[in-house]
């Protein structure tokens, strides 16, 4: 890492320990750095940099690469995703209405909360037979196309846990990852079909599933053939909407 003047790209708040920790994080945005490189680039004493970097690593705001250099930590990815989730709710309304109107079916967004998936936004079909899922509804993570999406991209251990007692299989989830969308036919509730696609946070992690759902008589037993492209487009719109700077 090249030495740089900390004052050239950093505006202090006046709270010394926060300013120094923030400067370390800002410098690591450019890539891994050793303790010596951080000392040289920040102009902060070696004991202070070591103490702050160790504390940041304790809270997973920093990590270490295979060469022992400091890198930005996994906690920052989680925080970025959480910030993206708030932006998701703000962007949801217009996208869900557009999706509902394009498909003629009720549309929803689900996020995982522990062992449940929770509807955080929805747009109901105004007339006729529909699958009504009010905001705040908790549904099982063991059935339904949204559950498939929320489990499919989990790490290995959580994926295996998600498959325990589920109505979908590992083979089905492999198909979800390959296609980029999921469908269910009577999986969550008899007579109901659905199609879902993943919404990704700023770090690329799947943070939500956008879905349409309705009676099998309208959606047929192959709902993905008819509506997958439209649902995937909505998911991409939401992913784009929550990217920083948009």
- Rounded alpha-carbon distances, angstroms, from residue 59 to 27, 62, 120, 144: 18, 8, 29, 36
DSSP labels for 60-100? Answer: TSEEE-TTS-EEE-HHHHHHHHHHHHHHHHHHHHHHHHHHH
Both 105 and 124 in one domain: the answer is: yes
Both 62 and 151 in one domain: the answer is: no
| Domain extent at residue 157 | 84-242
pLDDT value at position 224? 97
* Domain-ending residue, one of 79, 103, 128: 79
What's the CA gap between 133 and 117, in Å, rounded? 12
pTM of the model: 0.67
Both 53 and 133 in one domain: the answer is: no
What's the CA gap between 85 and 12, in Å, rounded? 29
pLDDT value at position 70? 93
Both 162 and 177 in one domain: the answer is: yes
Compute φ and ψ for 207, nearest 5 degrees. -110, -10
Compute φ and ψ for 118, nearest 5 degrees. -120, 135
Both 43 and 109 in one domain: the answer is: no
The count of structural domains within the chain is 2
DSSP labels for 146-186? Answer: HHHHHHHTS-HHHHHHHHTT-SS-HHHHHHHHHHT-EEEES
* Domain-ending residue, one of 26, 59, 79: 79
Both 161 and 114 in one domain: the answer is: yes
Q: Which residues contact 235 (CB under 8 A, 6 or more apart)?
A: 197, 198, 199, 209, 210
7 is a domain residue: no
236 is a domain residue: yes
Both 36 and 117 in one domain: the answer is: no
Tens of pLDDT along the chain (246 residues)?
444 443 444 567 778 899 999 999 988 877 889 999 999 989 999 999 999 999 999 999 999 988 899 998 888 867 766 665 678 888 899 999 999 999 999 999 999 988 899 999 999 988 777 778 899 999 999 999 999 999 999 988 889 999 999 999 999 999 999 999 999 999 999 999 999 999 998 778 898 999 999 999 999 999 999 999 999 999 999 999 988 765
pLDDT value at position 172? 97
CATH number assigned to the domain comprising residue 136: 3.30.450.40
Q: What is the DSSP letter of 29?
A: T
CATH number assigned to the domain comprising residue 68: 1.10.10.10
What's the CA gap between 195 and 145, in Å, rounded? 6
Both 21 and 99 in one domain: the answer is: no
Both 51 and 98 in one domain: the answer is: no
92 is a domain residue: yes
């Amino acid at each position: 890492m090249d030495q740089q003047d900390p004052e050239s790209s950093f505006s202090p708040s006046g709270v010394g320990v926060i300013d120094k920790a923030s400067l370390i994080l800002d410098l690591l945005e450019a890539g891994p750095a050793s303790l010596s490189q951080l000392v040289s680039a920040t102009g902060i004493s070696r004991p202070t940099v070591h103490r702050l970097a160790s504390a940041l690593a304790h809270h997973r705001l920093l990590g270490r690469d295979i060469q022992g250099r400091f890198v930005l930590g996994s906690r920052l990815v989680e925080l970025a995703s959480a910030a993206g989730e708030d932006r998701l709710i703000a962007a949801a309304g217009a996208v869900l209405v557009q999706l509902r109107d394009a498909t003629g079916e009720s549309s929803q967004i689900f996020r995982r909360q522990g062992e449940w998936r929770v509807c955080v936004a929805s747009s109901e079909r105004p007339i006729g037979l529909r699958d009504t899922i009010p905001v705040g509804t908790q549904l099982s993570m063991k059935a339904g196309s949204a559950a498939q999406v929320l489990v499919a991209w989990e790490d290995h251990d959580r994926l295996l846990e998600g498959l325990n007692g589920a109505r979908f299989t590992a083979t089905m989830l492999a198909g979800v990852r390959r296609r980029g969308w999921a469908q269910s036919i009577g999986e969550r509730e008899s007579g109901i079909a659905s199609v879902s696609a993943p919404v990704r946070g700023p770090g690329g992690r799947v943070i939500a599933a956008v879905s349409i759902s309705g009676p099998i008589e309208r959606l047929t037993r192959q709902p993905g053939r008819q509506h997958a492209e439209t649902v995937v487009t909505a998911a991409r719109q939401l992913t784009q909407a929550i990217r920083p700077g948009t």
